[in-house]
Amino acid sequence: MVLTQSCSDDELLTAGGPDGFAVFYRRHVEAILGYHVRWARNAEVAADLTAETFAAALEAKDRFRPGGPPARSWLFGIAVKKLADYRRRGYAEDRARRRLGMERVEPTNEDLRWIESLAGDVEVAEFIDELPADQRLAVTARVVEGREYEDIAAELQISTAGVRKRVSRGLAVLRGRVRESR
Amino acid sequence: MTDFVTRLEAELHSAAVQREGSGHVRRVALPRIRVALPSIPAAALATALFALAVAAAALILSTSPERAADMGVPPTLRGVWQAPPKELRLYPRGSDRCLNLGVGSSSACYTLGASASSVAYEWGRLSVDGDKLTLTGLQNSTPGVYRWRIEHGTLRLTKVDDPVSARARALVATPLHAVHPSQAKARLPIGWASHPFPSSRFGYSLDLPFRWKADTSGPADRFALDPYRGTLPSLSVVARDLPPGTGTGTWQVIVNARAGTHCARDAWYRKRPVDGLAVMVSDFKGCNGADEQLAIFTHRGRGYVVRWRGKQGRMDAEAPLFDALLRSFDFSR
């Protein structure tokens, strides 16, 4: 398989081999780092969670089936689970990396500053936590994870218009909260 | 991309290659043996048994014949073997020839071809396990298993199992005689570059060697066995739209001026055809310890730069490879 920029995520995961996975990683690493640092509020933890997320994805990629939920959603599903584990245990686990024999990649100070810059407005992240569940899911998927409306609609099993409405209402609430807090 | 992102990519890639190579995960952590303090005699017994097992394993390994996966090709078996009109070449793991043939650096490789011209018509992976030799062609992916022995300087192969009858006929009919490598210089195999790659953004296509991959995510199209990790040799192609009337001479001046004078450039020149155009190809010692070959030309209002980067000291061997890739260029597809 010749790897090009136009290869879909599905192709990269199923037929791309190690190089395909590398391209898939490069496509999504920033989004996953941003997601983890927004919610973990710690750049070093975010780096570990990102490494663990991709290691788990590498382990599970043989089970990924094209044609189902988009690969980006599948990856974010792993990231959400890793973040939930972190919140429950209080530390970022490294089981997938150990199983793969991977070394821990220590972020430099420059890396940490860059990862922190991906967090954006942490205050807004706190407000998102306080949104009603349906709006929180829609806003997180659309604004934080940058996913397509169609993709979110498929996952939540509602119409695209429904997703747009939830995102719009959620953002309106957030704007109001931010205005009040300043 | 930061240093963290790059280093994590390298770790993941290495893990992915390992998984791919083994079919599943390697380097699984061994479970810890825990012995409670009160059972010290049991611990002593376990330790003694473990030491005995290690010693036995070491003894067995030291008396075993060479294993294919670890040892590649035994030195006595490496080299060029001929039984005219056939020729068999056996290269150790990591040799430049294996890399150029697309076998990669982790396997030994072989070529089977004509003794008169030294042109290969089949090549692929090679593994040796004791007296068993397995040849797996890249073109047909069908392994052929033979027993080998060397007698009075000749290599005798006996077929164990090989569904490719032409290969079996070539190898087992007569003993193969060792040939000094300098007497039979390897030529570029037929069909070495045969996988078409079209570039819509730069309006060309070319034929890539087997297993070479393309990375088109940057400003130039890059090709190599692993273009994402910068393996050598590699080829890059870039094109720019030129103002009307810009000729090849002007384009060459532009490219050379942009390239700067960071590296000494005592270049040698040769003329080669590129889709009907006579193009001047230069070769010189480039930056970062790589030797480079460069073709700068214009076609239908576009200026092209085609660059080959190879390991230092490999220019003579790799010039025919670059020429073959240039020959495969097509601007009509």
pLDDT value at B250 more than 50: yes
Read off the pLDDT band of B70 (50, 70, 90): very low
**Residue B106 contacts A, CB cutoff 8 Å:** no
Torsion of CA B267, B279, B305, B194, to 10 degrees: -110
pTM for this model (two decimals) = 0.41
What pLDDT band is residue A162 in, cutting at 50, 70 and 90? very high
Q: Which of A119, A153, A171 is the last residue of a domain?
A: A119
Q: What are phi and psi of A105, to 5 degrees?
A: -95, 115
Confidence label for A116 from pLDDT (cuts 50, 70 and 90) = confident
The mean per-residue pLDDT over the stretch B191-197 comes to: 82
Range with the poorest average pLDDT among B8-12, B60-64, B153-157: B60-64
Give yes or no: residues A97 and A166 share one domain.
no
Q: Are residues A39 and A114 in the same domain?
A: yes
Residues A112 and A144 in one domain: no
The predicted structure's pLDDT at residue B158: 92
Identify whether residues A6 and A30 lie together within a single domain. yes
Q: Where is the domain boundary, A69, A90, A119?
A: A119
Q: Over chain B, what is the mean pLDDT?
A: 78
**Is residue A147 pLDDT above 60, yes or no?**
yes
* pLDDT at B62 > cutoff 50: no
Q: How far is B14 from chain A (nearest CA, A)?
A: 8
Q: B210 touching A, CB under 8 A?
A: no
A136 and A110 in one domain? no
Cβ–Cβ of A111/B15 closer than 8 Å? no
The minimum CA-CA distance between A88 and chain B, rounded to whole Å, is 25
pLDDT, greater one: A122 or B203: B203
- Searching chain B, which residue's CA lies closest to the CA of residue A18? B16
CB contact under 8 A, B16 and A102: no
Using the predicted structure, report yes or no on whether residue B39 has a pLDDT greater than 80: no
- Using an 8 Å CB-CB cutoff, list chain B residues near A99: 25, 28-29
Q: CB–CB of B159/B146 below 8 Å?
A: yes
Across A131-137, average pLDDT: 83
pLDDT digits (tens, 9 = 90+) for B145-189: 999 998 877 899 999 999 888 888 889 878 898 887 656 667 777
Task: Write the pLDDT tens digit of every residue in A39-74.
Answer: 888 889 999 999 999 999 999 988 888 877 788 888
Q: How confident is the model at residue B22 (pLDDT cuts 50, 70, 90)?
A: low
- A21 to B29: CB separation less than 8 angstroms, yes or no: no
Q: Decide if B25 and A99 are in contact by the 8 Å CB cutoff.
A: yes
* Cross-chain residue pair B2–A111, CB shorter than 8 Å: yes
Q: Are residues A113 and A129 in the same domain?
A: no
Residues of A in contact with B4 (CB under 8 A): 47, 105, 107-108, 111, 114-115
Print the domain residue range for A107.
1-119
Q: Provide the shortest C-alpha distance from residue A76 to chain B (in Å).
A: 18
Nearest residue on chain B to A61, alpha-carbon basis: B16
CA distances from B209 to B22, B189, B316, B322, B333 (A): 25, 11, 19, 11, 19
User: Same domain, yes or no, for A112 and A128?
Assistant: no
**Whole-number Cα distances in Å, B68 to B65, B137, B176, B320, B331:** 9, 17, 21, 31, 45
Q: At A8, which CATH number?
A: 1.10.1740.10
Out of B14, B28, B215, closest to residue A99 by CB: B28
Same domain, yes or no: A115 and A152? no
Q: Does A22 sit within 8 Å of B16, measured CB to CB?
A: yes
Q: Answer yes or no: do B215 and A17 touch at CB < 8 A.
A: no
Locate the chain B residue with the closest alpha carbon to A16.
B213
Closest CA of chain A from B225, distance in Å: 10
Q: What is the CATH number of the domain that holds A144?
A: 1.10.10.10
Give A55's contacts (C-beta < 8 A, 6+ positions apart).
A96, A97, A99, A100, A102, B12, B15
Domain count, chain A: 2
User: Going from the N-terminus, what domains does chain B have, and what CATH number goes with each?
Assistant: 69-183 (no CATH), 193-327 (3.40.1000.10)
**For the residues B41-54, what does the mean pLDDT come to?**
58
Residue A145 and residue A90 share a domain: no
Out of A119, A147, A173, pick the residue that ends a domain.
A119
Q: Do B11 and A51 touch (CB under 8 A)?
A: yes
Tell me: do A99 and A133 sit in the same domain.
no
Distance from CA of B306 to the nearest CA of A (A): 19
Do A9 and A84 fall into the same domain? yes
Nearest-Cα distance to chain B for A99, in Å, is: 5
Residue of A105, A109, A117 to mutate, interface with B, max B Cβ within 10 Å: A105
Residues A48 and A80 in one domain: yes
